[in-house]
Chains A and B, each alone.
Chain A
Amino acid sequence: MIVAEQKPIKEILEMVKDYNKILVLGCKGCVTVCNVGGSKEAAILASTLKIAARKNGKKIEVEEHTLERQCDPEYIDEIKDMIDDYDAVVSIACGVGPQFLSERYPSARVFPGVDTKFMGGAVEHGIWSERCAGCGTCVVHHFGGLCPIARCSKSLLNGPCGGSSNGKCEISKDVDCIWDIIVRRMTELGRLEELLEFVPPKSWITARDGGPRRLIREELVL
């Protein structure tokens, strides 16, 4: 799923400092599961803004509302009758949310309350790790089920590089060298020779590097 992190409160306060009626908009999708943008966090952010205002002697009104998702127009539509009541909207959905809101409600002041980080999964409760960079051409099966595009700092396809040391990436002791893991796994699987086949340079056309992407499914379009 998409994993996001809450923006520092100071940054959010700075964003909304000139506004007095604020709507905090949560999302029941990915950001709920990673505990950053669901109804709980919407309530917490609303309460935090109110405490800040109280402390600074400001008078503000803050409401919270959580949409099923902020990446489908029907849900964005749901707030059409209430959005004008507010000076500012803080969306704590992933990056898609604030954009969909801005497109649908161009006169609304929409602020992102979270920083969207990566596509990943929970490795332990409370710890999420990046797994997919959205390169558009998935080839994890060539690497024992692991992705060097997302998990190698240099996105090498014929790694490891000389910086791999004791299973760790040269950029930090806390980052595993995915190529170390790939080689070990392929060895365990008895398929090490497959890695000897040279992988040619990746065509990044299908990735973000090829420009903003759009996916059209003809058989689904109404």
Chain B
Amino acid sequence: MSDNFKPKIVAFYCSNCASSAASVAESMNKALPDNVKIVQVPCTGRIEILHLLKPFEEGADGVYVAGCQEDSCQYVTGITKAAKRVAYVKKTLEQLDIEPERINIYNLSAGKGQAFVDVALEMNDIVRKLGPVLSE
């Protein structure tokens, strides 16, 4: 694990709570690191298992989903569905001898908007410690 390993991370975030959190983070002058690439979806419920696997296929070292709190989803059940799919992908990764910590789901809100950036930094940290997926 070299010190200058910059993980490739793909982040899916929803257009509601996660986006509101982003506004607060922006107002606090917090910034995402450039190795975290964002993909916006209307609701995290739109994200399928295949969409979560594709980043790994293309060489990602980590993936995370950022959506609403369980009781705040504008589309009611989207975030709950997303959580179940992330859990499924964790199991798949385990079967492939890939650390399940490389994929996570976070519940954001504007009330703790700085989390929009904090979770990116957390994933960065986790994945950096795990090293790249590709074995040396």
Residues of A at the B interface (CB closer than 8 Å) are 8-10, 13, 40, 43-44, 47-48, 50-52, 54-57
* CB of B46 to closest CB in A, whole Å: 14
Residues of B within 8 A of A50 (CB): 57
Q: How many A-B residue pairs have CB under 8 A?
A: 43
* CB of B32 to closest CB in A, whole Å: 25
Within 8 A of A (CB), among B49-107: 49-50, 53-54, 56-57, 59, 92, 95-98
User: Which residue from chain A places its CB closest to the CB of B91 in the assembled complex?
Assistant: A9
User: Which residue from chain B places its CB closest to the CB of A57 in the assembled complex?
Assistant: B135
Q: Is the interface of A mostly helix, strand, loop or mixed?
A: helix
* CB of A169 to closest CB in B, whole Å: 29
Q: In the complex, what distance in Å separates the CA atom of A184 from the CA atom of B133?
A: 57
Q: Which of B48, B98, B135 makes the CB contact (< 8 A) with A51?
A: B98
Residues of B within 8 A of A52 (CB): 96
Residues of B within 8 A of A57 (CB): 134-135
Residues of B within 8 A of A55 (CB): 96-98, 133-135
Q: In the complex, what distance in Å separates the CA atom of A8 from the CA atom of B92?
A: 9
Residues of A within 8 A of B135 (CB): 55-57
Q: A51-B53, A57-B135 are in contact. List 13 more A-B contacts (CB 8 A).
A: A9-B92, A10-B95, A13-B95, A13-B96, A40-B49, A44-B53, A47-B50, A48-B92, A51-B96, A54-B56, A54-B133, A55-B133, A55-B135
* CB of B135 to closest CB in A, whole Å: 6
Contact indicator B95/A9 (Cβ below 8 Å):
yes
27 CB-based A-B contacts, threshold 8 Å: A8-B95, A9-B95, A9-B96, A10-B95, A13-B95, A13-B96, A40-B48, A40-B49, A40-B50, A44-B53, A47-B50, A47-B53, A47-B54, A47-B56, A47-B57, A48-B53, A48-B92, A51-B96, A51-B98, A54-B56, A54-B57, A55-B97, A55-B98, A55-B133, A55-B135, A57-B134, A57-B135
